[in-house]
Amino acid sequence: MNCPYCSIGDSKVVDSRAAEEGTTIRRRRECSNCGKRFTTYEVVEKIPFMVIKRDERRVPFDRDKLFNGILRSCEKRSIPIDSINVLTNQIEKEIRNTMEREVSSQVIGEVVMKYLKEFDQVAYVRFASVYRKFADVHEFFQELENLIANSVGKKE
């Protein structure tokens, strides 16, 4: 790591700690030449992957698009933005852990719905109504009945 002050490539790590929920490592370094200290951040390199859309187009995975979709389904709910960010991270982690270079948008949608069902049922129904493209109120009602039936079964 080159020193930002004198550009010498020799420095030693003085302190290391996790940052940003463990996704980054923050390191304090000291230049062996000029003695000045500086901070560096290490981030795990993520394997890029493509999303296969319903029309067979392939587009790069966009975490922001995933986050915004979840955020829209949680609108006007008393859910902290940090919780939505953590949920988005969990979903992205599960998708990346498949180690596939291409993932269909259907797989991503099903993973999001699995997590939203446990996270917030209203957000789940909102997301499902868009994702599954409910044609009428009967399909919407059927999804609600399934959700209620599963909730009752869990409480007993």
Whether the CA torsion 102, 105, 109, 112 is positive or negative: it is positive
State which of 59-68, 94-103, 116-125 shows the largest mean pLDDT.
59-68
Residue 155, pLDDT > 70, answer no
Residue 129, pLDDT > 60, answer yes
pLDDT of the residue at 153: 52
Domain map (residue ranges) of the chain: 11-43, 50-155
- Tell the residue number behind the tokens 């933005």, with chain if given: 81
pLDDT of the residue at 152: 59
pLDDT of the residue at 12: 93
**Among the listed ranges 62-66, 110-114, 141-145, 149-153, which one has the minimum average pLDDT value?**
149-153
pLDDT of the residue at 115: 94
Distance CA(119)–CA(112), nearest Å, equals: 10
More confident residue, 35 or 124: 35
pLDDT in tens, 43-73: 777 778 899 998 999 999 999 999 999 999 9
Q: SS3 for the chain, per residue?
A: CCCCCCCCCCEEEEEEEEECCCCEEEEEEEECCCCCEEEEEEECCCCCCEEECCCCCEEECCHHHHHHHHHHHCCCCCCCHHHHHHHHHHHHHHHHCCCCCEEEHHHHHHHHHHHHHHHCHHHHHHHHHHHCCCCCHHHHHHHHHHHHHHHHHHHC
Burial annotation 114-134 (CB, 10 A radius, 16+ → b, else e):
ebbbebbeebbbbbbeebeeb
pLDDT of the residue at 56: 92
